[in-house]
Amino acid sequence: MNTDESDSAVHDSNEPQRWGPFAPWPRARPWIWVALACLVAFFQLGLFLSEFRVEEGRGNDFFQDWASARNVMEGVPVYRSHKLAIVEYLNLDDTVEIQIPYNAHPPASVIWMLPFGLFSYPTGTLIWNLLSLGSILIAVAILLKTLCRPIAAWSVFPILVLTLTSYPLRMQFYLGQWNGFLLLLLVLGWYADRSGKEASAGVFLGIATLLKLFPGFILLVMLVRRRWRGVIWGGGTIAI
């Protein structure tokens, strides 16, 4: 054995071995995931899909902006009490207890929501969640393509298991939250910045900041690093 081969053998033997719950049965790993996916899908798929639509009488985060959008269409104050909205739009009694009496989201989120105000509350929630799911899938596809991480075909089974059992993801749809769209905007901003397009990154971050304030902290990072194009375009987007 020559010196190179000897060094290589020593190096390989010293490398830490990756641990995994299926490591003792590497060939059985895909089939175990298939079995788990079938089991989880049997018990959870129906519940997961049912969370995309809201039943009459149940409020969620989506209702805040949807009610404000309907207020715009009716010509009444945009941020009036939800007590009035649930009586007029959901035909519920005004004695129903509500946790958030007024819409806590900024005006930009209401503008974004205007098209959904054309639909009933349950239908609008369903469309919203389907578009949120599409946004998440697009964001993940951009990340995978950019980071060049190929996925084996059988990986669809662990992905299905993790998706159906992810509490944060399910709450995203159950509550009709903004996270799907925010994820896409942040990933687009990251991709633009990674491609050297600071102005586009600033625009995406500006839009995200208008919907929720916390993405604005990324603009502060750009400010500290003196990346002026991104800061100017992000600030300009917010100002407009």
pLDDT digits (tens, 9 = 90+) for 86-134: 888 887 776 667 778 888 888 889 999 999 999 999 999 999 999 999 9
The verdict on pTM exceeding 0.75 is: yes
| pLDDT beyond 90 at 54 | no
59 confidence band (pLDDT: 50, 70, 90): confident
How many angstroms separate the CA atoms of 150 and 201, rounded?
A: 26
| pLDDT beyond 90 at 170 | yes
Handedness of CA 196, 206, 215, 220 (dihedral sign): positive
pLDDT digits (tens, 9 = 90+) for 64-88: 899 999 999 999 999 999 888 888 8
Mean pLDDT, to the nearest integer, of 23-43? 84
CB burial of 105-135 (b: ≥16 within 10 Å; e: otherwise) equals: beeebbebbeebbeeebeebbbbbbeebeeb
CB 206 within 8 A of CB 233: yes
